[in-house]
């Protein structure tokens, strides 16, 4: 019994020290279940000689079950704030749970092609956007002050995301896309004329000196 209590104390102490997540709690639960099975078997063997042993094990089992429920609740709350248990982003990147993706805002004066290449060098794409919530998240990431390139491109009169995801959401500002700069209006940038993340079309060619910040997006690692 003392051995079980020591093992259990060590496990719960580790859990308290760590930033508990659901997967870690599940692992600890498996360890505890294994210990409990071992001692329940021993208790049943000793039951004829001592009822006390079985009673003590059952009492410990109830205590463990209560503590495990507490840590599972804590883990679920923590998981809403941090997905490090399940997903990881590199330093400098921000995680967005609904898309399970990592984002980074890059400041500077970049043409569309420079921005696209910058994302590709990071193993990412210029960001696609699929909801108002994601748009707000990205806009906050870029501080909502400056214009930034997004991964929307026009080819043959059809707008599409360069990461291959479907165009199911748009946020053009009023009157856009207006075909600015004739056939060369083949890309889009966000935050044109407002701080709400609305989009405007524009040329990708560097001769127009159309340079902005940009935001990259890639799937978080598991």
Residue-wise pLDDT tens digits, 177-190: 887 765 578 899 99
Say which residues have a Cβ less than 8 Å from residue 91's Cβ, sequence separation at least 6: none
Q: What is the mean pLDDT of the chain?
A: 78
Q: In this predicted model, which residue has the larger pLDDT, 169 or 144?
A: 169
Is pLDDT of 101 > 50? yes
| Average pLDDT over every residue of 141-158 | 88
Residue 87 falls inside a structural domain: no
Domain count, the chain: 2
Residue 149 falls inside a structural domain: yes
Are 105 and 215 a contacting pair, CB within 8 Å? Answer: yes
Instruction: For residues 127 and 38, state if they share a domain.
Output: no
Instruction: For residues 101 and 193, state if they share a domain.
Output: yes
Are 87 and 79 a contacting pair, CB within 8 Å? Answer: no
- The reported pLDDT for the residue numbered 19 is 46
Which residue's structure tokens are 């500002």? 173
CA-to-CA distance for 125 and 123, rounded, in angstroms? Answer: 7
Are 205 and 153 a contacting pair, CB within 8 Å? Answer: no
- The reported pLDDT for the residue numbered 175 is 86
Instruction: For residues 76 and 128, state if they share a domain.
Output: no
Instruction: For residues 74 and 131, state if they share a domain.
Output: no
What's the CATH number where 138 sits? Answer: 3.10.100.10
Instruction: For residues 170 and 75, state if they share a domain.
Output: no
Which residue's structure tokens are 């679920």? 76
- How many other C-beta atoms can be found within 10 angstroms of the C-beta atom of residue 61? 15
- The reported pLDDT for the residue numbered 83 is 47
Torsion angles phi and psi, residue 213, rounded to 5: -70, 180
Full residue range of the structural domain in which residue 135 is found: 94-219
Instruction: For residues 132 and 213, state if they share a domain.
Output: yes
Instruction: For residues 131 and 31, state if they share a domain.
Output: no
Is pLDDT of 200 > 80? yes
Is pLDDT of 103 > 80? yes
Q: In this predicted model, which residue has the larger pLDDT, 194 or 157?
A: 157
- Sort strands 199-202 and 187-190 into parallel, antiparallel or unpaired: antiparallel
Instruction: For residues 130 and 63, state if they share a domain.
Output: no
- The reported pLDDT for the residue numbered 23 is 60
Which of 27, 60, 81 marks a domain boundary?
81
Residue 89 falls inside a structural domain: no
Q: pLDDT digit string (tens) for 44-79?
A: 666 655 666 666 666 777 777 767 666 666 665 555
Residue 88 falls inside a structural domain: no
Which contiguous run of DSSP H or E holds residue 150? strand 148-155
Query: Collapsing DSSP states into helix, strand and coil, what is residue 37?
Result: helix
Place 128 in a pLDDT band, splitting at 50, 70 and 90: very high
Place 22 in a pLDDT band, splitting at 50, 70 and 90: low
Which of 81, 107, 136 marks a domain boundary?
81
What is the pTM for the complete model shown?
0.62
Instruction: For residues 65 and 99, state if they share a domain.
Output: no
């Amino acid at each position: 019994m003392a051995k079980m209590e020591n093992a259990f104390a060590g496990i719960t102490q580790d859990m308290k020290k760590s930033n508990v997540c659901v997967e870690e709690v599940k692992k600890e639960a498996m360890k505890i279940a294994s210990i409990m099975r071992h001692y329940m078997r021993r208790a049943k063997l000793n039951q004829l000689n001592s009822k006390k042993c079985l009673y003590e094990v059952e009492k410990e089992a109830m205590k463990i079950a209560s503590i495990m429920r507490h840590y599972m609740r804590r883990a679920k709350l923590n998981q809403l704030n941090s997905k490090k248990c399940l997903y990881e982003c590199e330093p400098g990147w921000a995680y967005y749970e609904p898309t399970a993706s990592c984002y980074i805002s890059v400041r500077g004066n970049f043409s569309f092609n420079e921005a696209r290449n910058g994302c590709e060098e990071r193993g990412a794409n210029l960001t696609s956007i699929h909801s108002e919530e994601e748009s707000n998240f990205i806009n906050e990431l870029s501080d909502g002050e400056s214009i930034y390139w997004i991964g929307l491109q026009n080819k043959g009169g059809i707008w599409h995301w360069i990461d291959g995801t479907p165009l199911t959401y748009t946020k053009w500002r009023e009157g856009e896309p207006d075909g600015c700069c004739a056939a060369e209006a083949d890309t889009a940038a966000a935050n044109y004329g407002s701080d709400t993340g609305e989009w405007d079309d524009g040329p990708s060619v560097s001769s127009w000196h159309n340079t902005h910040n940009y935001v990259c997006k890639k799937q978080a690692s598991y």
